[in-house]
Structure 1
Amino acid sequence: MTTLPAAPSALELDRRRYRRRQTGRSVAVAAVSTVAFAVVVWLTIVNTPGWARVQSTFFDPAVAARAWPRVFQGLLTNLTVLVFAALGVLLLSILLATLRTLRGPVFFPLRALAAGYTDLFRGMPLIIVLYLVGFGIPGLGFTAERPPAALLGTVALVLVYSAYVSEVFRAGIEAVHPSQRLAARSLGLSHAQTLRLILLPQAVRKVTPALMNDLVAMQKDVGLISVLGAVDAVRAAQIETAASFNFTPYVLAGLLFVLLALPLIRLTDWYTARIRRREQMGAVV
């Protein structure tokens, strides 16, 4: 026998109508206040004495149109470096986090090596690592020709960001209750199986928002590979600026980076809010 769901009461219907009215009123007030604020800011900037010069120097549509093909082609280089760097960071950071969570005195050298690695590269500025890798590795003479600048930049990004992301993974692993590890070992799972099947899945779920934020930061720092000579979006904008004596290509490159980051930023916010709602479900807030 199928039981039909109970119809909402008149009081509940009144509450729903009230919430809909409140939501509509809030949206209208937010829209009006945002438009008013934007108009005030725009009028303030436009009426400044130097606006005409700034507009022609930084916001020239003709210069932006001429620079677009080269800057966009450079952005594709940034995307390629980002994809390979993200994969390298993922693999190396999981390895480092695993080494730092090993138990027993016999693994002390590995734990010390992983800790020294994270301390070194978390304390060193990325741009210095780029210079050391970009000019130091070719100087060793491993290859007859100099490796591509984009490849050297990818290596530097992996070295630096692996130190940060490994600590995020380690924090997630240590946040899993010790009873999970003990229960897995009592069932006969080895340390590697416990880490792979029990700890890592729970740890990744806990630290996903932090990992997504690190990816956003790395997407921005990919532009620093231009210091090694790679013709990415930033370097292409520099070339176009030198040719036209106008800074609009830099603004164009910056807007492209922002547009590239916005979907991931919004996805991070949505996922963080989703986790918070799930954790607070049934609680009194």
Structure 2
Amino acid sequence: MRSVLISIASTIVLAALVWILLLSTPGWARVQESFFDGEVLLAALPRVWSGFLLNLRVLGVTIVLVLVIALLLATLRTLRGPVWLPLRALATVYTDVFRGTPLIIVLYLVGFGIPGLELIPVRLPYEFWGTIALTLTYSAYVSEVFRAGIEAVHPSQRQAARSLGLTHAKTMRLVVVPQAVRKVTPALMNDFVALQKDVGLVSVLGAVDAVRAAQIETAAFFNFTPYVLAGLLFIVLAIPTIRFTDWYAARVRRREQIGGIV
């Protein structure tokens, strides 16, 4: 109880000092008016919220696609034998290219380059191309996380499964992949926290998401508060995932160390 009270008191004191320092700055009144206007926030909320729902739709679809494609890439990169060299090389080139290319460039290439080829007779919405670009980039990152988890599984697990008569596919599906996913779940959650922020980049293609809606409202009110509102929505979205990641990482650490944190 004493430790808890001391922690609460020190936190309150630190917050109070920061608040007093902020209020004492010469330009606080001007900044407050430009970035923290309550009336502008309430007026911009409907449009920014509508755009934020688009971000959530893009996020949900992207997560599913990334998990499937990344696991496929990781599996291809862990195949053994010379016959699989072309597939391993293709997966390696894919991960190298999309891990090395900035996401915003991928968004421009996919969002404006592919429609420019006129391969599809109908015009697809910008959020569709944003979802494709996010999937391409994050699949490369997440595939490396999966691959690290697969390679972290001890070879004796594979040997035991094969000795029981399981095929390579069943060994991966029933023995290796479940252990690999459990090992890399904290890292996967961190990648998806980053993805939650990056879905806001679909606005560069013209999709009216939370960021673009905030830009429209900012131009209408000559005030930056809508941007703060959009940022708060993304923070509210990320906090549960961040806390779950911390909880799960601590749980895994306790299970592995069994004697407490060193």
Query: What interval of TM-score do these two structures reach, taking the shorter chain for normalisation?
Result: over 0.9
Q: Secondary structure at the match of 2:45?
A: helix
C-alpha root-mean-square deviation of aligned residues, in Å?
A: 1.0
Deviation per CA, 1:85-139, whole angstroms, max 9, x where unpaired?
0000001001101100111100000000000000000000000000000001101
Change (3 A) 1:284 1:140: closer
Q: 2:25 aligns with which of 23, 31, 48?
A: 48
Look up the match of 1:3.
none
Q: 1:166 aligns with which of 139, 143, 152?
A: 143
Measured after TM superposition, the shift of residue 146 of structure 1 is 2.2
Q: 2:50 aligns with which of 70, 73, 76?
A: 73
**Is residue 275 from structure 1 mapped to residue 258 from structure 2 by the alignment?**
no
Q: TM-score, normalised by structure 1?
A: 0.90
Q: Which moved more, 1:275-284 or 1:111-120?
A: 275-284
- Distance (whole Å) between structure 1 residues aligned to residue 12 and residue 260 of structure 2: 37
Look up the match of 1:151.
128
Look up the match of 1:247.
224
Letter in 1 for 2:226: P
- Distance (whole Å) between structure 1 residues aligned to residue 20 and residue 61 of structure 2: 44
Contact 2:36 2:225 in 1 (8 A): yes
Larger Rg: 1
- Distance (whole Å) between structure 1 residues aligned to residue 261 and residue 58 of structure 2: 46
Change (3 A) 1:61 1:112: same
Measured after TM superposition, the shift of residue 282 of structure 1 is 4.0
Q: Which runs of 5+ in 2 are unaligned?
A: none
**Is residue 120 from structure 1 mapped to residue 114 from structure 2 by the alignment?**
no
Change (3 A) 1:283 1:25: closer
Q: How does 1:192-231 map to 2 (within 5 A)?
A: 192-231=169-208
Q: 1:58 aligns with which of 5, 13, 35?
A: 35
Look up the match of 1:37.
14
Look up the match of 1:181.
158
- Distance (whole Å) between structure 2 residues aligned to residue 191 and residue 153 of structure 1: 36
Aligned residues: 262
- Distance (whole Å) between structure 2 residues aligned to residue 33 and residue 284 of structure 1: 24
Letter in 2 for 1:204: V
- Distance (whole Å) between structure 2 residues aligned to residue 142 and residue 76 of structure 1: 29
Deviation per CA, 1:55-82, whole angstroms, max 9, x where unpaired?
0000000000000000011110000000
Letter in 1 for 2:155: P
Measured after TM superposition, the shift of residue 283 of structure 1 is 6.7
Q: TM-score, normalised by structure 2?
A: 0.98
Letter in 2 for 1:275: V
Contact 2:254 2:261 in 1 (8 A): no
Letter in 1 for 2:199: V
Measured after TM superposition, the shift of residue 159 of structure 1 is 0.1
Deviation per CA, 1:236-279, whole angstroms, max 9, x where unpaired?
00000011110000000001100110001000000000111111
- Distance (whole Å) between structure 1 residues aligned to residue 7 and residue 261 of structure 2: 27
